[in-house]
């Protein structure tokens, strides 16, 4: 019970927490096998020597649902966020062993939706791989939480997320305004089979891989907000 309370406090106060041993090695290996068998020629797949990514991951590989949403993850969602949350976005990232992919500090400020509708306080809009994305009001972003499932041991040597503690509570926070005299940076090491829970307004980034070990992560965002005026989450899964 104390661990749950500590994690809840960390999410609320710091904007993130990590939980180990959510998946067994066997479950992780089965996920990796399913991903490896997937047709990667679709528009939602991005493949280069630096990065392999799958947008709309849970839609593209539906047979992986029962593995991802095992009893441990379902209990985590229930314990930390309640029963009304649903999936609103899913992405798979693979940083290969030789990747020099560097991600600068940023917040996740857009949501994926089914169409473009001009609504007050929603914008700007973008389109990637035939997917509409829009920046919603801060209140919508504050409601979202992200679970990152780690398929590999991840630390500062192979691109673990680095975050600015408590930055999720400061609204829109431009990276160029970070005051390093007052802010605290944390490297979020997560073992294989563990998860990181974070708020999308948390400033986060990652460094280049230096130990020739890959980093594979399933990134899933959740919300319980109904969007206004006929706008719908494009990837909603209950």
Any bridge partners for residue 87, and if so which? 222, 237
Contacts of 83 (CB under 8 A, 6+ apart): none
pLDDT, averaged per 10 consecutive residues of the chain (238 residues), comes to 82 97 98 88 64 87 97 95 94 79 92 95 89 96 98 93 97 95 96 98 93 92 96 94
State the pLDDT at residue 238. Answer: 85
Distance between CA 237 and CA 165 in Å, rounded?
30
pTM, two decimal places = 0.93
Q: Closest by alpha carbon to 234, among 42, 44, 23, 41?
A: 44
Instruction: Quote the DSSP letter at residue 195.
Output: E
Please state, as a whole number, how many other Cβ atoms lie within 10 Å of the Cβ of residue 47.
Answer: 12
Question: Structure tokens of 180?
Answer: 């390093």
Q: Residues 211, 103: contact at Cβ < 8 Å? A: no
State the pLDDT at residue 41. Answer: 73
- CATH class of the domain at 2-223: mainly beta
State the pLDDT at residue 53. Answer: 86
State the pLDDT at residue 72. Answer: 97
Name the 3-class secondary structure at 221. Answer: strand
């Amino acid at each position: 019970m104390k661990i749950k309370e500590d994690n809840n406090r960390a999410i609320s106060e710091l904007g993130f927490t990590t939980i180990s041993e959510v998946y067994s090695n066997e479950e992780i290996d089965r996920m990796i096998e399913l991903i490896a068998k997937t047709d990667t020629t679709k528009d939602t797949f991005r493949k280069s020597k630096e990065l392999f990514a799958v947008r709309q991951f849970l839609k593209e590989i539906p047979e992986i649902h029962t593995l991802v949403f095992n009893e441990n993850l379902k209990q985590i969602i229930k314990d930390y966020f309640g029963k009304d949350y649903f999936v609103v976005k899913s992405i798979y990232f693979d940083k290969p062993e030789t990747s020099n992919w560097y991600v600068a500090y940023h917040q996740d400020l857009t949501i994926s939706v089914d169409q473009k509708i001009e609504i007050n306080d929603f914008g700007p809009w973008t389109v990637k791989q035939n997917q509409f994305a829009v920046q919603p009001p801060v209140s919508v972003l504050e409601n979202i939480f992200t679970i990152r499932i780690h398929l590999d041991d991840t630390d500062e040597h192979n691109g673990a997320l680095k975050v600015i503690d408590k930055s999720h509570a400061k609204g829109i926070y431009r990276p160029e305004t970070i005051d390093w005299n007052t802010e605290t940076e944390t490297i979020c090491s997560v073992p294989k089979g563990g998860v990181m829970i974070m708020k999308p307004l948390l400033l986060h980034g990652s460094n280049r891989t230096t130990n020739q070990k890959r980093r594979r992560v399933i990134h899933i965002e959740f919300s319980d907000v109904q969007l206004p005026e006929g706008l719908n989450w494009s990837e909603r899964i209950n």
